[in-house]
Structure 1
Amino acid sequence: MRYSKSAHTRFYHRYHVLWATKYRYKILQGPMRDRIREIIIQTCSELGVHIVKGVLARDHVHMFLSIPPKHSLSNVLQRIKGRSSRRIQMEFPELRKRYWGRRFWARGYFSTTSGNVTDDVIKQYLELHSDK
């Protein structure tokens, strides 16, 4: 396991996140798919978020992200989803007329964390290092 670092911290924060298009419309294809990929990469780069792995399906996005501790997962996803939704709707105006109004992504997201340390291992570690 390789830890990331910033000025005063070392961390290993990995999140598996998933979010979908509104109504699970299968429209993530062609030039729109490429543009969404570019926007997500650019947004993550600006935030200092490392994309470990990412997959765009036709109606949802899976990402495995390393997020620095100064950012919360909800704020990172708010920026990614908000920025990509706005730009895609500006660049592909036919979406508004054909599919829906102002939202491109469905509300919310799924997330889970990844790590090699279980709750039991942490409890054992703390018990061994407590003052007796």
Structure 2
Amino acid sequence: MLIHCEQVMRNVCARLGGELREFNGEDDHVHLLVHYPPKLPISTLVNRLKGVSAHYLRKEFHQHAHRHLWGDHFWSPSYFAASCGGAPLKIIKEYIEQQKRPD
């Protein structure tokens, strides 16, 4: 399911003129490093990532996805976004790569 989520999110980023540079996930959240156009509001990017991925993941993994819902929603309504303009991308990628994936 996480692999399919990454593919969907890569496609969403590309359609919006961005690039998903790093992806990893845990049982209850994902970590993304996204390069996106400066005129694209982060809220639009996140809403599209969540909306499109929820649609396809529910469709493809209905039984499994049902166990991980936030009420009736696939994703929590909240998100955390931070700019990493000054940090070396290598450090951010390593952080995301080191996150624990579910067994």
Question: With structure 1 as the length reference, what TM-score do the two structures score?
Answer: 0.57
CA contact (8 A) 2:9 2:20 kept: no
Distance 2:72 2:54 in 1: 9
Determine if contact 2:6/2:23 at 8 Å carries over to the other structure.
no
Residue among 88, 92, 97 paired with 2:61: 92
* 2:50 and 2:75 in contact (8 A); partners too: yes
Q: Which runs of 5+ in 2 are unaligned?
A: 87-103
CA distance in 1, matches of 2:68, 2:6: 21
**Which structure has the highest strand share of the two?**
1
Q: Which runs of 5+ in 1 are unaligned?
A: 1-31, 117-132
Aligned pair partner of 2:17 in 48, 53, 58 = 48
Asked if 1:107 corresponds to 2:77, the answer is yes
1:7-86 counterparts in 2 under 5 A? Answer: 32-86=1-55
Q: Secondary structure at the match of 1:111?
A: coil
TM-score normalised per structure 2: 0.71
Q: CA RMSD in A?
A: 1.7
* Equivalent residues, number: 84
